[in-house]
Structure 1
Amino acid sequence: MRHGALEEYAPNHFMVHDIRVRPFIRGEGDVEGNRFVMTSWRRDGLMARLAERGLVMVTIESLTESLPELPAPFPIADEPRWQPLGHPSERWSYYDPRQRAVVACETLTQADQQGVWLYPGCMVRRRRGRGQAEWYRSQVQGTHTLQYTPIDDDSALLQGLAQATRYTHDPITVRAGENGAVVVTIPLLPRAHQAVLARCATGDRDGLVWQCHPDHLHLVVGVLARVNLVLTNSESNPHA
């Protein structure tokens, strides 16, 4: 995550990383130590004045714009292929673009051999015993076998979300939460996207349920738009 002379860590709340910004933020809000809370409406003007002095004001919007967009989706085969288990404790799962979620594969027995059915092209995850899960891109190799290319967690999620764009999904509903907050349940996002989202919303332990103040919903919308997720509510048109 990049830092500037002034960095927004929550809506209108900034961390001062460079003391040269202090003359510019005086009168624009409340300053306490290295924290600055902007209360004036001159946000764009402050950013422009800082830029004239070569000082960067990192905002939630600018961080959102720097987030990776979805890659081109890999095609997924229509027919699955059999993958034997390398060990009885081995467990497989895959990113289902229809559900936009990681789904566990059912372990089956075929010709006295345990294994799972996998669709070539899908992002698949293998866990051995209690070890760390590893992601792969599955590809056809030969007539009956599959080849696996290692891929990091975030790239696997981005590719899974990209493959999801080939299917129709209903917009994600914005719900009313407690104390006037709004709540959304979304697919799991890559860590960089979650980090920016956490600056304008609060997520649950799994990173699936997020809530924010209604005034900050547009910031949430911006982050989700980077991965083609659309929000709506029952009384209005989609937010993105």
Structure 2
Amino acid sequence: MASRRRAGATCDFEELRPGLFMIHNPALSPVLRGEGEREGDRFRLTTWRGEGLIARLRARTFVVLTLLDQVAALPDLPTPPPLGAAFLRDLARNERISYFAPDPLGWVPVPNPTPSSAELREGWIVRRRRSRGPASYAHIQHGNFLACDEDRALRLGYAQVSPTTLTVATTPQGILLPNLPLPQAHQHLLGRIAASTPQGWLVAPESLPLVTALLARLGVGVEA
């Protein structure tokens, strides 16, 4: 029998947010009865038997993509350039340079021994800005800036500081994760799991294992 999966979909049942699924194949509808609330092609799991439901769907050969599956499918980190010796470099006018640091995790201004010079280190992953223009990214090799795009710079940066630990705050509303610079795929997936706020990412306690797994793909441990 031909598949009834929606054209272009890569799975039959996809978790969009914790407990909220998109039905890409109506043939699985009978298995969902009694397990939650359905509105159109959206299904919200309301029972505690979520793992059992997923197992039953897979046993019937339906392809299920949970958020945990999506975390596991995130790209591996690349091999970072080795760190080497420190050196001084003259700065161009209005040039500012930051490097990817483990603490605080993210972009940190490099030391400036004088207003017109920067202390850099061989192998660092750096972000450069001039005046109010857009940032450019590079890693330092043999004293030169080897350009790369932002996404690769972030992945190299996380690979270089891995393993590291991030301390998160617990609030009455949930767990607050700082606004980290993240590669695009990780940022997109985190947006499915947590809520973006001006103070950072707000994570429901029951979603913390998903966020912990996502950050582990970047070599970052979570400490509450």
TM exceeding 0.5: yes
Question: Which residue number corresponds to residue 45 of structure 1?
Answer: 52
Match of 2:3 in 1: none
Amino acid aligned to 2:209:
H
Q: 2:210 aligns with which of 212, 219, 229?
A: 219
The number of residue pairs the alignment matches comes to 216
Instruction: Return the alpha-carbon distance in structure 1 between the equivalents of residues 182 and 76 of structure 2.
Output: 12
Name which of 160, 170, 194 aligns with 1:201: 194
Find 2:172's aligned residue among 166, 171, 178. Answer: 178
Task: In structure 1, give the amino acid aligned to 2:208.
Answer: L
Q: Shift of the alpha carbon at 1:115?
A: 4.2
Q: Distance in 2 between matches of 1:160 and 1:98?
A: 12
Q: Could you say which residue in structure 2 is the equivalent of 1:236?
A: none
Q: Report the 3-state secondary structure (helix = DSSP H, G, I; strand = E; otherwise coil) of the residue aligned with 2:220.
A: coil
Q: Give how far 1:54 is off.
A: 4.0
Task: State which of 77, 89, 96 in structure 2 corresponds to 1:70.
Answer: 77
Root-mean-square deviation (CA, aligned residues, Å) is 2.6
SS at match of 1:222: helix
For 2:84 and 2:59, the matched residues in 1 are separated by 53
Q: In the TM superposition, what are the counterparts of 1:104-143 in structure 2 within 5 Å?
A: 104-105=109-110, 114-140=116-142
User: Once structures 1 and 2 are overlaid, which stretch shifts more, 97-106 or 221-230?
Assistant: 97-106
Tell me by how many angstroms 1:186 deviates: 6.4
User: What is the CA distance between 1:52 and its match in structure 2?
Assistant: 4.3
Offset at residue 224 of structure 1 (A): 1.4
What's the CA shift string for 1:164-214, capped at 9, x where partnerless?
137xx5x433432134x2223364322211222222222335xx8222221
Structure 1 length-normalised TM: 0.77
Q: Quick check: 1:94–1:103 contact (8 Å CA) kept in 2?
A: yes
Once the 2 structures are TM-superposed, how far is the Cα of residue 225 of structure 1 from its aligned partner?
1.4
In structure 1, the residue matched to 2:5 is none
Q: Which amino acid in the other structure matches residue 118 of structure 1?
A: L
Q: Structure 1, residues 80-137: CA drift from partner, whole Å, max 9, x if none?
A: 231442xx24332222245322123466769xxx443321211112223433211111
1:33 offset after TM fit, Å? 1.0
* Contact 1:81–1:120 (Cα < 8 Å) also in 2: no
Question: Counterparts of 1:106 and 1:232 in 2: how far apart (Å)?
Answer: 28
User: C-alpha separation between the residues in 1 aligned to 2:126 and 2:204?
Assistant: 36
- Contact kept in structure 2, 1:100 and 1:160, CA below 8 Å: no
Aligned to 1:13: 20
Distance 1:151 1:120, change over 3 A: same
Are residues 115 and 50 of structure 1, via their aligned partners in 2, closer, same or farther at CA, if it must alter by over 3 Å? same
Report matched runs for 1:153-172 at 5 Å: 153-165=150-162, 171-172=165-166
| Contact 1:83–1:118 (8 Å) recurs in 2 | no
So what's the TM-score if we normalise by structure 2?
Answer: 0.82
- State the alpha-carbon separation in 1 of the partners of residues 136 and 153 from structure 2: 10
Cα 1:199–1:3, aligned 2, differ >3 Å: closer, same or farther?
Answer: farther
Q: Among all aligned residue pairs of Structure 1 and Structure 2, give the percentage whose two residues are the same amino acid.
A: 35
Letter in 1 for 2:78: P
Of 85, 98, 107, which aligns to 1:93?
Answer: 98
CA distance in 1, matches of 2:27, 2:188: 27
2: CA distance, partners of 1:215 / 1:84: 47
Cα separation, 2, equivalents of 1:50 and 1:164 = 40
Gaps of 5+ in 2: 1-8
